[in-house]
Structure 1
Amino acid sequence: MASDLTNGFSNYHNPTSSQLELPGSSVSDTLPRSEHHPQDSYVRSPQPSDSVEIGSPSRTNRISGNADLSGAIEVTNDIPFFLSHSFSKRPDNILERMLDCFKTKQHESRVFGLYGRIGVGKTQLALKFMEDNRKLFPYQFWVNSDKKDKIDLSYESIAEQLGLLPMSPNPKQTADIVRKWLGTNPHWLLVFDNVEDLDLVTTFWPRHLPATSYIIVTTRDHSIGSPNSPFTSTAEVKCFPAEKAAEYFWSLVSDIVMDPSQRGLAKEVVLRLDCLPLVINHMASFIRVRNMTLSDFLEEYDRDAGIAVEQKIYSTNIAYKDQHSDGEKLFTIMTPWNLSISEVSARRPEASALLDLLVLLDPDKIQLELISHFQPSASHIPSSQSRPHLPSQAISELVFQSLLDQNKDPNDRSLRVHRMTQAAARRRWTPDSRKLAFDNAVHCICRTYPRQKQGGSMVEQFPRCAMFTAHLRSILHYYQNNGIDLFPSPDFPEILAHCGWYFFERGETVSALEVLSAAESICETLGVTQSQTLGLIYNNLGAVFMLRRGQERKGLRYTKLAIENRRVTIPADNPEIQQLAISYMNYANDIQLVMPFDQEEQNIAAEYYNQALKICEKSPGGTARSQELVLSNMSFAYFRWGNLEMALQYVQRAVGLHTECAPDTSFMLYTMYYYGNIQWALGARDEAFRIHKECLKRRQKLFGDNSHYTTGVSLYKAGSLAFELGQLDYARERLTEAEQTFSEYDDDPGLWPRTLLKIGKVLLQISLRDGNQSLEAEGRMKWSQGLKKAREVLKDESFQGMDDKELDSLVRQVYQ
C-alpha cells in the first residue's frame, strides 16, 4: 500500500503548528519555523561542523533530560517527501489529541496510531507533527512499513545515518542494532507509515521507549482502535466535513478561478470527490494546470468520472513516482488504489471478483443482502436458483485493504466503496473481468429487487425498493454508457419495468420514463418481440405517458401494445393473467382521455371494463385489491358519463373492499377521491367534505408529506370545498400547501395556476372579512400570477378563471 499524499487541512497563508513541549523540557511552546515548498528537502543534512560521535557521553548528555535542544544536530533517514506548505489545522483536532497523548506523563510508552481510508491524510498528519516538533526531536526516522523488505531497508538507512551500520549487514542484525539504540537514546520520533501487518511492525520496536521518544503508526487497519492494541492512543482520520472541504478546496483554486460566483460550486465539487483530501488536492492541481472554471470541471467530470484517476500531477513522494519516457516523474492518483487492488487480485481472486461487482453498484450503501447472490466465477452466474451466501472472507479482505468500508453498527452492516476505488477498479478490468462483473451485478440485483405482483401496487414494497433502486440505476448507467459487448439477461429489463412502476407510484414520472425507456431498448437489443416483460414495460409506459399532457395518444398506443403482448404470452390459467385485466382497465381509462370521445368509444370502454372485472372475479390470481381497482375506475368512468347512480354503486363496492385490501395503496386513495366527488355531485356536501379530508389524511400518511402530486390534488380539493362551505381559514391553509406542492410539478402544468387562482380568491374573501389590506394585495398578486400562468398553459389570452368549470379546464379530469 502506498502512503497518504495529502495534507490534513490546508490554507496557503496561515500554516499552524502542533508543537510539543516534552515533559521536563524547557523548550518554548512557540518555536520558529521556516517556509518550505514541496520540492524542498525535509531537513538539512548534518554538517561537518556538527559532527559528534553517536553514542558518546558528550552527545548523550546534550540531548537528554532537561537539555536545551536548540543547537542539537538533526539526524534523519530518508523521509520520503516534505509536508505541503499549504497545510493548516484540520477540523477534527487530531494533532491536538496527539499532543495530549505524548504530553501525558503517566504513560509508560507513547505510541499513537492514525488509521483510516486511503487518502484521508494519515501520512501528512505524521509529517505535520514531525515538522512542528523538529527541534524537540533531533532524531526523526521514517519507516515505509507495508512490506517487511521495505522495513528492513528503512532500518538499514537509519543505521547508516546513525553511523551504526555493520560492514556486511543482514536485516536481523541491523534491526537489533537500531532497536538497541532506540531503547537507550532519548528525543527521537519514529514513524511507521502505511502499516499492513501490525504484529510484524511491533517486532522492530525497542523493548523500552525513553520518556522523551515517540512512535507514530499510520495504517488502514481499523483494528488498532480496539482496547487490546499496543497503542497508547489512536485516532480515526476521516474525510473533511463538506463545508470545511469546500473552504479548503476554494483556497487552492481561488487564484485561478477568479470569478467569485464560482465559489458556490466548490461544495458541489468536493461532494463529487467524497471530501477526500487526496482527491481534492489532486483535482485542485488538475484545475490549476488546465486553468479551468469549476463549472468547466463539473461538466467534464460528469462526462467521465474517471478523470479523477487518470490525470497525472507532479509530486515528490517517492512512494508514488512512476518513471515516464520523458524522464520526469509524475504522480497518478490511481497508484494508491492500484497497489491495493493488485494485491487483492493476486492473493484473493474471490475478493477481487467481489470488488468488481461492488464497483458497479451505488457506492454509498451496499446492503449485504444484495451481494449474498454473488458468484465468484462466470460458470456460476446462470444459476438463478443458487442459495444465498455471504462472501464474508472476501469482504474482510477488502475492508482490510481499505478498498471497502463496513458499517460498525451491528444492526446495519452495510458496505461502502470509495468512488476512487470504484473508478480505479473499473479502469483495470479485462474484457472477461468486466463481463463477469456486469453479469454478477445484474444477477444480484435481479434476485433482490422487489417485483410488482400481478400488475398491482408496490406501495408496501417502497422501503425495499428504496434500498436497491440506486444500485439498479448505477448498473443501468454503466450499461448505457459502456455497454458494448455486454448482454444483460432477460431478467434485467423486467426488473427495470418494476423499478419504473415504483417511480411512477411515487410520482417521479421523469425517472419512471427514463428507466422504462431503457427497459424497452434492452428488449429490442436482445431481440425480444413478445413477452410478459414487454407487456409489463408497455403497460407502465402507457401509464406514464397518460400523465403527460399532450402525450395521451402515445400512452394509449403503449397500453394497446401491453394488451397484445399479454393476450399472447400469459395463459388463462396463470395467476399472472391478472396483468391482462389491468391492461384492459387501463385501455378503458385511456381511451376516454383521447379526444374526441363519443358514444361508440364509451361502449368500447365499458366492454374493456367488464372484461377486466370478469378476470378479477373469475380467473386465478384475482384478489380484493384487483377487484377494488377495477371497480374504482369504473365508478369514475360512469361519473364522467353522467350516470351518478351507477358511479355510486361501483364506488361503494370498491370502498367496501378497503378493509380487506388494507393497508392503503395509491390506487385505493383514488377511490376515496372519486367517492368524495360523487357524493358532492349528488348534493351530500358535508359527507363529501368529510371523505376528501379523510382522503387527504391517508395520502399524507402514505407518502409521508405533501410533496406527492396526488397529495397536492387532495390539498386543493379539500381547500376548494372548504371555501365553498365558508371555512375560509382552513381553505387558505390547504391551498397554500397545495401551491407549494405544484410549484415544482411539471407533468401537468395547469395544476399550479389553478391553485394560484383559487387561493387568490380565498385571500380576497378573507381580506373583505377581516378588513386586511395586505391580504387583499397578496390575493390580487396570486390571482394575477395564476392568470398569467394559466394563459401560458392554455395558450389562450381570453381565459378569465372566474368559476370552477373554467379553473378545472386547466387540468385533466381525474384531478378535477
Structure 2
Amino acid sequence: MLSQDDSRSLYIIGGQGGHGGHGHPHGTGGPGGTGLGPNVNIIEHQSNVYNLHPGPASQQAFQPSNIQASQTINNCPPPSRIFQGRRDILGKMHSFFTSDVRIQHIYVLYGLGGAGKTQITLKFINESSSRFSDTFFIDASTTTTIDTGLKNIAIVKGSGNSLQDGLQWLASRVEEWLLVFDNTDDPSIDLNDFIPQCNHGNIIITSRNPGLRVYGSHSLVSDMEEEDAVALLLKSAAQAAATGTMLTATEIVKALYYLPLAIVQAGSFISKSQDLDGYLTLYTKNQARLLSEMPAQTHDHYAQTVYTTWQMSFHRLTQPAAMFLQYCSFLHHNGISEQIFSYASEYTFPSDGPSKEDLWEPLEFLSHFLGPSGEWDSLQFSNMTNEIQAYSLISIDAEKKLFSIHPLVHAWSQTTGNPEKYLSNMGSILGMALSARPRYDIQLGSLAICPHVELALQMNAEVALVFKEIYGLILWEAGKYKQYEKLLEGVLEKRKQVLGDNHLDTLLTMGNLASTYSGLGEHQKAKELDLTVLEKRKQVLGDNHPDTLLTMGNLANTYSNLGEHQKAKKLNLTVLEKREQVLGDNHPDTLHTMGNLAWTYSDLGEHQKAKELKATVLEKQKQVLGDNHPHTLVTMGNLASTYSDLGEHQKAKELNLTVLEKRKQVLGDNHPDTLRTMGNLASTYSNLGEHQKAKELNLTVLEKRKQVLGDNHPHTLHAHG
C-alpha cells in the first residue's frame, strides 16, 4: 500500500487535456524519475500525495512490485501558471460537490476542443485539495486507457489488478474520493460501463460530446469573459497590463472569439516578436498559419494547436458528416437550418435554370439524406448532425432548431478541403433551397436566410445567374434595397449581353430593378424603367398576360410615389378589372391590386372609399394568406392610416400597435416596413396628444433609418421632418 486509507492522495492515471485558461500536465516524470513498470510513472510522492501517469495505453498495467521499487518526489501538478478566470463554472462545481453527500455526484464539463475543460478540472482539484481523500485522473480517450486507469486504481490500493477490482474498490469506499474521466470524446464509448455503481463518490467528466450531459449536472465550457481573456493574453505574451496594451489586447481577443487555446497561441507568438500592436494585422492575413503553429515555449504540456485539435475530431467523422461541416463553413456561422438542405432536395429544375448535370455534386451530397423513395429523411439528417455535435464542432439551439458553428471552427473548416468547390456547391444548394422555398416562409424567412445569401455574394460564389436573382429577392424581402440594386444591375448587364434586351428573363430583371429603385426613393428612374418594360411586355406577351399586369401595377405605384395620383388610379382600375377576369376576386394578386387602388383613393382624399376597400382586402387576405403574412400586414397598416385620415385615431393606434408587434416578429426591428409602422404609430400618438411618446418613437425611427437606408433616403428625410 502506498497510502493510508485516511490520506488525501492525487492519482493522475492517464490524460492529455485541453486548455482553458490553460492546458494539462503531460509527460513521463521529472528529471531523474524512473518508471513504475512499462505503463505508469510515480512522479510525485510528498505528504502521501501520489501523481500516477501512465505511459502508452497499449502497454500492460504495472505490477505492485514495481511500485514498491521506484518513487520520485515532486510537487502536486497545479493548473497552468497562467490560468485565468472561469469563476462562474468553478463556483458551480464547488457548490455542486458540497451539496447532498448522500448521493453520487457527477459533473460534466463539455465543449469545443481548446476551450479549457481539463484546465478547469485541474483548477478545481487544486482548490479542493483538502476535500477529497483520493483523487484519480484517468485518460478516457479510449476504452483501453479507461480500462488501464481503473486497473491501476486497484493496484495502487492493493485490491486486485483488474478493471472490476478498481470499480469495486471505489464502490466499497464511502470516503470522499474524486474520479476524473478526462477527454471522454469518443461517442461510441458507453461511459456507464466504467462508472462505479454506488451512491457515493464524486466524478468529473470532460468531453467534447454534449451527449454526456445525461450523466449529471453540467457546464458548457465555451469562450472566456473578455476581461479574463485580455489578462490571459497579456500573461502568455509577457506584456504589462497597461492602458495601451489592454486596449490592443481587447481587439486581439475579440478577433480570436475569446477561445483560450487560440489566445495562448497568440500570446506565445507575441512573446517572441514582442510586437503586440502588429499581431492583429499579421493574424488577419495569416490566420490558418498562426493557429496551426505550435508554441516554442509553453505553460503546460498540451500537444495540439487550435487547428490540429479540431483536425483530430474532423478525421473521426463519416464522409457525409465531414462534407456537411465543410459545406456549412460557406454559410454564415449562425442560423443554419435543416430547411436549407431539405428545400434544396425538392428543387424541380425549371427550363431557365441549371440542369441535373450542372448540379450533380450538390445532388450527390443531398442524396445522403433522402429515403428510399427520394423523400427527405429528417432522422437521417439528425443522425448526421448528432455525429458532428458529439465533437462540439457544431451546436444546436433546440428551441429554434438552428445550428451554429464557432467562428474560428467556421474559418478552419474552410481550409479542410477544396474551398472553391465547396463554396460553389453550397451557393447552388442555397439557390436551390430558395427556389423551392415558399415565399415569405416563416421557418426560413428572409431575416433567417439573408446572412447566408450575403456571405455567398461577399465570397463571390460561382452560381447560375438564376440563383443570383433569387438571392436578390431575399435581399429585397429583408429590406436591403441598396444591396439588391447593386446585384440586379450586374445581373441585368449579363442578361442583356447573353440574351438581348427583349428576352423575357431580361425584362424580368429590369422590372425587379425598377421596383428596387422605388424602394430606394428613386421614383423617376423607376418610372422610366417601368415604361420600357411595360411596352416590351405588351409587344412580346400581350396586354393581359400576368407579367404585363404586374408591370402595370408597379407603374401605377410609381405614379403614386411621384404624386401623379389620377394616372395611378386609372392604371390600377385597369389592372384590377383584368386580374378579376383572369385570376378571380380572391387571388392574392387581385387583392394586392385592390390594396393599391385603395391607397390611391387615400392619396386623392377619397378616404371613405379607401376605408371600405381596405377593410374588404384585409378580410380576404386574412382568409387566404393568414394574419401574419407580410401582405396582410401591409393592408392592416394602410387601414390604420385611413382611420387616421378619417380622425379615428384610437382605432389607428390599436391597429398600428398590432401591426408593429407582428412586423417585429416576422421582419425584425430594423426592417424598413417595421420602421414605417413605427413612424405611423408616432404620428398617431401626435394626433392623440401623446407628444412625448411620439417624439421618442420618431427619434428611434430616425436613427434606425439612417443606419438602414442612409441619410438621404426620402423616408429618412421624412423622419427628420
Code of the aligned partner of 2:122: L
Match 1:7 to one of 5, 20, 29 = 20
Match 2:323 to one of 353, 374, 377 = 353
1:217-273: CA deviations, max 9, x gaps? 3222334332xx5xxx55333325xxx611112223468597748968988876765
Match 1:618 to one of 571, 574, 581 = 581
Code of the aligned partner of 2:340: L
Higher RCO (CA-CA < 8 Å; seq separation 6+): 2
Q: Which residue of 2 aligns with 1:556?
A: 527
CA contact (8 A) 1:632 1:651 kept: no
CA contact (8 A) 2:343 2:434 kept: no
Q: Say which is worse superposed, 417-426 or 378-387, in terms of deviation.
A: 378-387
Match 2:555 to one of 587, 602, 614 = 587
Cα distance, 1:192–1:709 mapped onto 2, change above 3 Å: closer
Q: Which residue of 2 aligns with 1:793?
A: none
Please give the residue correspondences for 1:429-444 in structure 2 after superposition, counting only pairs within 5 Å.
429-430=417-418, 434=422, 437-438=425-426, 441-442=429-430
CA contact (8 A) 1:523 1:534 kept: yes
Counterparts of 2:199 and 2:566, CA distance in 1: 97
Determine whether 1:368 maps to 2:338.
Answer: yes
Code of the aligned partner of 2:481: A
CA contact (8 A) 1:38 1:316 kept: no
1:74-127: CA deviations, max 9, x gaps? 4432699973212245233446636854897645x7765433333332111233
Cα distance, 1:373–1:398 mapped onto 2, change above 3 Å: farther
Q: Say which is worse superposed, 301-310 or 440-449, in terms of deviation.
A: 301-310
Match 1:71 to one of 44, 47, 52 = 47
Deviation of residue 588 (structure 1)? 3.4
1:540-583: CA deviations, max 9, x gaps? 4433433445x44443355456547765887888xxx5454232
Deviation of residue 407 (structure 1)? 4.3
Aligned partner of residue 316 in structure 2, secondary structure: helix
1:380-434: CA deviations, max 9, x gaps? 479999532222321222122322324455xx54433333332222211136862
Deviation of residue 696 (structure 1)? 3.8
Q: Which residue of 2 aligns with 1:423?
A: 411
Determine whether 1:395 maps to 2:385.
Answer: yes
Code of the aligned partner of 2:699: E
Q: Which residue of 2 aligns with 1:66?
A: none
CA contact (8 A) 1:442 1:488 kept: no
Aligned partner of residue 684 in structure 2, secondary structure: helix
Please give the residue correspondences for 1:277-356 in structure 2 after superposition, counting only pairs within 5 Å.
277-283=260-266, 297=280, 309-310=291-292, 313-314=295-296, 316=298, 321=303, 332-344=305-317, 348-356=318-326
Q: Which residue of 2 aligns with 1:738?
A: 698
CA contact (8 A) 1:361 1:474 kept: yes
Match 2:221 to one of 226, 235, 238 = 238
CA contact (8 A) 2:86 2:120 kept: no
Q: Which residue of 2 aligns with 1:23?
A: none
Q: Which residue of 1 aligns with 2:451?
A: 473
Code of the aligned partner of 2:477: Y
Aligned partner of residue 183 in structure 2, secondary structure: strand
Counterparts of 2:389 and 2:401, CA distance in 1: 12
Code of the aligned partner of 1:613: L
Please give the residue correspondences for 1:612-761 in structure 2 after superposition, counting only pairs within 5 Å.
612-620=575-583, 623=586, 626-634=589-597, 652-662=612-622, 663=627, 665-669=632-636, 671-672=638-639, 675=642, 686=647, 693=653, 696-697=656-657, 699-704=659-664, 708-715=674-681, 717-718=683-684, 722=687, 729-746=689-706, 747=709
CA contact (8 A) 1:334 1:424 kept: yes
Deviation of residue 354 (structure 1)? 2.3
Counterparts of 2:222 and 2:713, CA distance in 1: 43
Counterparts of 1:701 and 1:137, CA distance in 2: 55
Cα distance, 1:372–1:258 mapped onto 2, change above 3 Å: same
Determine whether 1:503 maps to 2:478.
Answer: yes
Counterparts of 1:552 and 1:194, CA distance in 2: 63
Code of the aligned partner of 1:711: T
Q: Which residue of 2 aligns with 1:446?
A: 434
Counterparts of 1:552 and 1:422, CA distance in 2: 42
Aligned partner of residue 205 in structure 2, secondary structure: strand
1:330-386: CA deviations, max 9, x gaps? x53111111111111xxx222222223333333334333333357696454799995
Counterparts of 1:661 and 1:696, CA distance in 2: 17
Match 1:217 to one of 205, 213, 216 = 205
With the length of structure 1 as denominator, give the TM-score of the two structures: 0.62
Aligned partner of residue 77 in structure 1, secondary structure: strand
Aligned partner of residue 212 in structure 2, secondary structure: helix
CA contact (8 A) 2:489 2:513 kept: no
Cα distance, 1:676–1:284 mapped onto 2, change above 3 Å: farther
Deviation of residue 449 (structure 1)? 3.9
Cα distance, 1:253–1:155 mapped onto 2, change above 3 Å: same
Counterparts of 1:423 and 1:105, CA distance in 2: 45
Code of the aligned partner of 1:441: I
Deviation of residue 481 (structure 1)? 1.8
Code of the aligned partner of 2:114: G
Counterparts of 2:549 and 2:620, CA distance in 1: 20
Counterparts of 2:289 and 2:36, CA distance in 1: 52
Q: Which residue of 2 aligns with 1:195?
A: 184
CA contact (8 A) 1:719 1:734 kept: yes
Deviation of residue 592 (structure 1)? 6.4
Counterparts of 1:356 and 1:579, CA distance in 2: 40
Counterparts of 1:493 and 1:340, CA distance in 2: 35
Determine whether 1:545 maps to 2:517.
Answer: yes
Q: What residue ranges of structure 2 are gaps of 5+ in the alignment?
A: 1-14, 38-43, 57-76, 346-359
Cα distance, 1:470–1:537 mapped onto 2, change above 3 Å: farther
Counterparts of 2:255 and 2:36, CA distance in 1: 53
Code of the aligned partner of 1:353: M
Cα distance, 1:478–1:711 mapped onto 2, change above 3 Å: closer
Code of the aligned partner of 1:87: F
Code of the aligned partner of 2:182: D
CA contact (8 A) 2:138 2:146 kept: yes
Determine whether 1:85 maps to 2:54.
Answer: no
CA contact (8 A) 1:696 1:711 kept: yes
Code of the aligned partner of 2:482: L
Q: Which residue of 2 aligns with 1:117?
A: 112
Counterparts of 1:252 and 1:52, CA distance in 2: 36
Q: Which residue of 1 aligns with 2:443?
A: 464
Q: Which residue of 2 aligns with 1:455?
A: none
Cα distance, 1:111–1:582 mapped onto 2, change above 3 Å: closer
Bigger radius of gyration among the two = 1
Aligned partner of residue 443 in structure 2, secondary structure: helix
Code of the aligned partner of 1:114: L
Deviation of residue 638 (structure 1)? 7.1
Deviation of residue 500 (structure 1)? 2.6
Q: Which residue of 2 aligns with 1:517?
A: 486
Q: What residue ranges of structure 1 are gaps of 5+ in the alignment?
A: 11-36, 54-62, 64-68, 165-171, 322-330, 452-457, 505-510, 680-684, 757-806, 808-816
Cα distance, 1:449–1:478 mapped onto 2, change above 3 Å: same
Q: Say which is worse superposed, 702-711 or 740-749, in terms of deviation.
A: 702-711
Deviation of residue 648 (structure 1)? 6.3
Counterparts of 2:20 and 2:499, CA distance in 1: 54
Counterparts of 1:318 and 1:153, CA distance in 2: 24
Instruction: Please report the RMSD computed on the Cα atoms of aligned residues, expressed in angstroms.
Output: 5.5
Cα distance, 1:387–1:559 mapped onto 2, change above 3 Å: farther
Cα distance, 1:493–1:261 mapped onto 2, change above 3 Å: same
Aligned partner of residue 235 in structure 1, secondary structure: strand
1:755-780: CA deviations, max 9, x gaps? 67xxxxxxxxxxxxxxxxxxxxxxxx
CA contact (8 A) 2:268 2:295 kept: yes
Aligned partner of residue 86 in structure 1, secondary structure: coil
Cα distance, 1:618–1:442 mapped onto 2, change above 3 Å: same
CA contact (8 A) 1:501 1:512 kept: yes
Please give the residue correspondences for 1:91-106 in structure 2 after superposition, counting only pairs within 5 Å.
91-94=87-90, 97=93, 101=97, 106=102
